[in-house]
Amino acid sequence: MLLLAPMEGLLDATLRDVLTRLGGVDRCTSEFIRVTNTLLPERAFIRVVPELLNGGRTAAGVPVRPQLLGSDPTLLAENAARLATLNPPGIDLNFGCPAKTVNNSRGGAILLDEPQLVGRIVAAVRRAVPAHIPVSAKMRLGYMDDAYAEENALAITDAGADELVIHARTKAQGYKPPAHWERIAQVAQALPAQRPVLIANGEIWNADDAQRCRAITGCEHLMLGRGQITDPGLAHQIDGGAPVPWARVVPLLPLFWARVSARVERRHRAGRLKQWLNYLRHRHPEAQQAFDELRLHHEPEAISAWIEQAQVRWGCPDEVPAETAQPC
């Protein structure tokens, strides 16, 4: 199983839609839905996870599991119960966000210094959600260090989580290489035989990385983040497929731009495309050219004109997902 990671401010419904069209991704997790001091209305869940209006799936049919973030077990349970009425393909809990603003409000990775609270949160949500809806959690190895890694994983296990994703770095380590895959293996050894499905995450940029991560962690299942954004064909390749060339990526650009134009304020639209191209250029030289050409363009009309020219310049492959073929 290959999962697409939640990445606040980047991997939203638009990019999930695009990245799941090339195949290989089995499930997505949404950006976090912050739970503070209120029971959220249904529209708050749908705003972050519009796929809930499509049976909880992207246009390509890939399930999307909404993720909740907060520190109050009762409030999280109440919101999870309401979210469950929208029939999501599962509910995920965030114990991994490293953002300072999130941690300062007792959300995300900072909770890993309180394993008992982590366990109470998972247990409360599990009790509040119908049994047929899976409950999962995503954690880092710890906050400032990994001293509580095993204790947190045990707390999540004992609370009844169905799956546990472990990002192989602490909050303090951020996204700085390397990912400490060996610690995932050590955490796994500390868990009972009846444990959640374990999923490894961190520094998987290519198929060789995936193979080494599986060998070191003992986890068959992986979560892909920046690697999948940089190379939209990564999951397909890990699954045994051929590398996806730039010609297969080009038809995704107008689709991405159309979704951005429909969902994002005008002044932020160009930045969203450049943000993705900034990742793509590390895998595709053509994306570097595109990034350079668009660097100084900010008006949506200029971006739209460039998109049309790109289709002519780079052409379209013979076989692309049906919806992405339309712009050509």
The set of catalytic residues is 97
Query: Measuring CA to CA, how many Å separate 219 from each of 2, 63, 188, 192, 291?
Result: 11, 21, 9, 15, 36
- Distance, in Å, from the CA atom of 281 to the CA atom of 95, rounded to the nearest integer, reads 31
DSSP letter assigned to residue 196: P
| DSSP string computed for 32-94 | EEE-SSS---HHHHHHH-GGGGGTTB-TTS-BEEEEEE-S-HHHHHHHHHHHHTT--S-EEEE
**Residue of 148, 81, 83 whose CA lies nearest to 117:** 148
Q: Which residues pair with 27 in a beta bridge?
A: 3
